[in-house]
Amino acid sequence: MTKSRVQAKAVDTSKLRNFVVGSAIGLAVIFGAMSLRADEAITKTHGFNFFGELKYPADYKHLDYVNPDAPKGGEISIWTMGTFDSFNPYSRKGRAGALASAPFESLLEGTSDEVGTSYGLLAETLEYPEDQSWVIFNMRPEARFSDGTPVTADDVAFTYELFLNEGLASYRAILGQIVTGVEILGPHRVKYSFADDASRRDAIPIVGGLPVKSKAWFEKTGAKLDESRMEPAIGSGPYVLDSYDINKRITYKRNPDYWGNDLPFNKGRGNFDTIRVEYFADSNAAFEGFKSGAYTFRQENSSKSWATAYDFPALDEGHVIKTLLPDGGMATGQSYVMNLRRDKFDDIRVRQAVGLLFNFEWSNESLFYGQYARINSFWENSELAAAGMPSDAELALLEPIADLLPAGVIDGEAVMAPVSGSRTLDRKNLRKASALLDDAG
């Protein structure tokens, strides 16, 4: 598995706001009063992390990876490929425009420097018992949609109904598995109850990650979630649709009346007045557009292009800056994936042999221009990646299921990818691979 480390940017640009919107699901609303056992231990917090402690305390001032004093203004322009005929990103009908989910916010939102963590955005705090059989979100009363109307628990409950009845089939399936009830406890207070077998790791982030819709807007317009439409639903986020030219460009503008500018979670984010997306037929056309100044920010994912194609006049004249920008997040990778349902790959020795036969070191230098780094974990660059011998805490989890684990997991070091020499064929690894294949028959 390998990770690309190449990226380019034009002058006077910065990182884009993370527009990743959490999983959207919904459920029927049950109106009623809430009753809690007096002796039940309840956690009330500003965020949620199934894996451990939150990095940021309740009184945090801003996220560590932003400049809280970043200037506001200007435009950033990016590119995408293809066409669009809709601004509804939550339907399979039509082709949604780039960043069509950007205007929407959720009760919780994740950060880029933690794994499995969500902090309150539309929600100020959340409450849940030790068994996490339910969660209550206490919403921010100051939250507003872009038309100035308040975001309420009624909108949250309506959103669940919307996704239950009109959402994608995959959302409805998840919905039926984890959620058993939704209760409106007040204008800005809503409770979700979970099934006994619902994943305690995922349940709260899933319901908290739903993009909240305006009940009033949907009822007024008669819009459906499962339709293709060019009229975007209103959201509560910092950006709204400004203009578009079908299959050519889309422009979003910063909402001057955005309610959440002063939230610690938003400090140093959403800095550009406008975000413009230029459409191109293919990646080659997009690169030519960048060279001519059609847009200002480009992430490069081709090691060959990074090493050989960035030699145009704008770069030489200082109008374009080419630089590596480490993002500090978990590494993503490129890999061969073996189908274990095929008999020849079902034997772990065959898979180990294939790993030994791949000479990453030679490939990286000879084919990838030295631009890749080897990945040894699906959780690379995070505290969840295995390293060295198992810790006491890890052993406490592993030892009860020792009989189910492969040899070496408990009493050996974490398995790392094999290292080859700089020659095309690494004879040492070839001999190991040959022996494994012989043993596998």
pLDDT in tens, 329-349: 778 788 888 999 998 899 999
Tokens of 339: 């189908």
Q: How many CB atoms neighbour CB 248 within 10 A? A: 12
- Give residue 39's pLDDT: 52
Q: CA gyration radius for the chain?
A: 25
Tokens of 22: 């959490």
Counting residues of the chain whose pLDDT is more than 90, the rounded percentage is: 71
Among the ranges given (92-101, 134-143, 365-374), the one the predictor scored with the smallest mean pLDDT: 365-374
Range 264-278 average pLDDT: 98
- Residue 242 phi, psi dihedral angles, 5° rounding: -105, -55
Kindly list the domain boundaries of the chain, sorted by start residue: 7-323, 343-440
Q: Is this model's pTM higher than 0.85 or not? A: no
Instruction: Answer yes or no: is pLDDT of 20 > 90.
Output: no
In this structure, the chain runs to a length of 441
Instruction: Answer yes or no: is pLDDT of 15 > 70.
Output: no
Q: Give, to the nearest 10 degrees, the angle between helix 169-178 and helix 153-166.
A: 120
CATH architecture of 7-323: 3-Layer(aba) Sandwich (3.40)
pLDDT band at residue 248, thresholds of 50, 70 and 90?
very high
Q: How many CB atoms neighbour CB 430 within 10 A? A: 15
Q: Which of 219, 211, 175, 208 is nearest to 100 (CA)?
A: 211
Counting residues of the chain whose pLDDT is more than 70, the rounded percentage is: 91
Question: Cα separation of 229 and 245, whole Å?
Answer: 15
CATH class name, domain 343-440: alpha beta
Range 371-396 average pLDDT: 88
DSSP calls for 232-270: PPP-SSSEEEEEEETTTEEEEEE-TT-TTTTSGGGTT-S
Q: Which of 71, 88, 95 is nearest to 13 (CA)?
A: 71
State the chain's mean pLDDT as an integer.
89
Among the ranges given (54-63, 350-359, 416-425), the one the predictor scored with the smallest mean pLDDT: 416-425
Instruction: Answer yes or no: is pLDDT of 252 > 70.
Output: yes
Instruction: Answer yes or no: is pLDDT of 380 > 70.
Output: yes
Question: Cα separation of 388 and 365, whole Å?
Answer: 28
Among the ranges given (35-44, 161-170, 276-285, 295-304), the one the predictor scored with the smallest mean pLDDT: 35-44
